[in-house]
Amino acid sequence: TKTPITVTLTGAGGQIGYAALFRIAAGDMLGADQPVSLRLLEIPQGMRAAEGAALELTDCAFPLLAGVEISDAPEVAFDGANVAMLIGSRPRTAGMERGDLLEANGAIFGPQGRAIGARAADDVRVIVVGNPANTNALIAQQHAPEVPAERFTALTRLDHNRAVGLLAAEAGAGVAQIDGVTIWGNHSATQYPDLSHATVGGAPALEAVDPQWARGAYIERVAKRGAEIIEVRGGSSVASAANAAIEHVRDWMLGTGERRTSAAVVSHGEYGVPEGLISSFPVRSEGGAWRVVEGLAVDEFSRQRIDASVAELVSERDAVRQLGLI
């Protein structure tokens, strides 16, 4: 029998937390033979919802669930964490200035990063879901100098999965036939879903669909899919976001094989992305580490799109620097 892996979720009393907890406890994230201990971090207003979720976890009698603890103190919740899923944040609301948004998130992700650095297990892996995800991940990382920078990542897997799903529908293919889709840059409206190197059934995607569509309406649809879900469903993406976070962690820990996916990871200058930014790249995972897939040709159109999204990340980084948040 394996030692349980400790997974800490922040915002565990919220919607994505609720959609993620049961699948993690059922073994969807770490494997069907891997016990898991859950730690739920909430703010005082969210504690009752987290407690309720914990009662329901008991009622599922999951054989893999070794324990559930709930806390509103980051130092307690991240103690011994092997996986940290940072879901709770202060997303932008109507009329909110960027400075206020970043300030509010600095107050969340600075202390959480510090607690991860001080308390988490040596092998801790962090995925930030709460928006603005890339910059929140950077803030947390900068407060945890004890932890290798590469262990802080942000979620663009939902964008990736949306891009794959919409391509499959357009091409009339199954998602299993698709590989090589990339999300570049920021998890925001500037993101660039790129089909230049994608394949459908082994053949170039740009031959399976109209290239005009791929470089026009498609990009727009993927980038604005979150708004489309809100409009149709009357609420933001929840189950698909939880699913993406689970797949990100599963691939990170268990590997992707030859299959390619997308994740926001720390740049070492790949594809001209300034070093230190947490930006989405084409990635594979091997031996418990993300590797940026290098050597893909970038044409003029892609270059402009990547640069525009990366410029937004640079400006977010500069803004949090100016505010003294990193």
Taking alpha carbons only, the member of 64, 62, 301, 50 closest to residue 194 is 301
Q: Is 22 left (phi over 0), alpha (psi -120 to 50) or beta?
A: alpha
Segment 204-233, which members bind ligand NAI (CB under 6 A)? none
Is 187 annotated in the active site? yes
- Within 8 A by CB and 6+ apart from 193, the residues are 159, 162, 163, 181, 182, 183, 218, 219, 222, 223
Selected from 155, 178, 214, 266, the binder of ligand NAI by CB under 6 A is 155
190 binds ligand NAI (CB under 6 A): no
Considering the rule CB under 6 A, would residue 41 count as an interface residue with ligand NAI? yes
Using the contact rule CB under 6 A, the part of the chain among 9-17, 274-282, 285-293, 302-310 near ligand NAI is 9-17
The residue sitting closest to ligand NAI, measured at its beta carbon, is: 14
Strand, coil or helix: what is 249? helix
Given the residues 160, 187, 197, 248, the one annotated as active site: 187
Size of the site for ligand NAI (CB under 6 A): 29
Residues within window 122-141 making contact with ligand NAI, judged by CB under 6 A: 129-131, 133
Look-up of token digits 């990635």 = 283
| Cβ count near 244 (within 10 Å) | 23
What minimum distance in Å lies between the beta carbon of 236 and ligand NAI?
5
Q: Are 133 and 155 in contact (CB under 8 A)?
A: yes
In total, the chain counts a number of residues equal to: 326
Coil, strand or helix at 274: coil
Kindly report the backbone phi and psi dihedral angles of residue 160, in degrees, each rounded to the nearest multiple of 5, phi listed first.
-60, -50
Of 230-259, binders to ligand NAI (CB under 6 A) are 236-238, 241
SS3 256: coil
**Residue 16 found at the interface with ligand NAI (CB under 6 A):** yes
Residues of this chain that interact with ligand NAI (CB under 6 A) are: 10-11, 13-17, 41-43, 45-46, 49, 87-89, 91, 108, 129-131, 133, 155, 158, 187, 236-238, 241
Binding positions for NAD(+) are 11-17, 105, 112, 129-131
Active-site residue set: 187
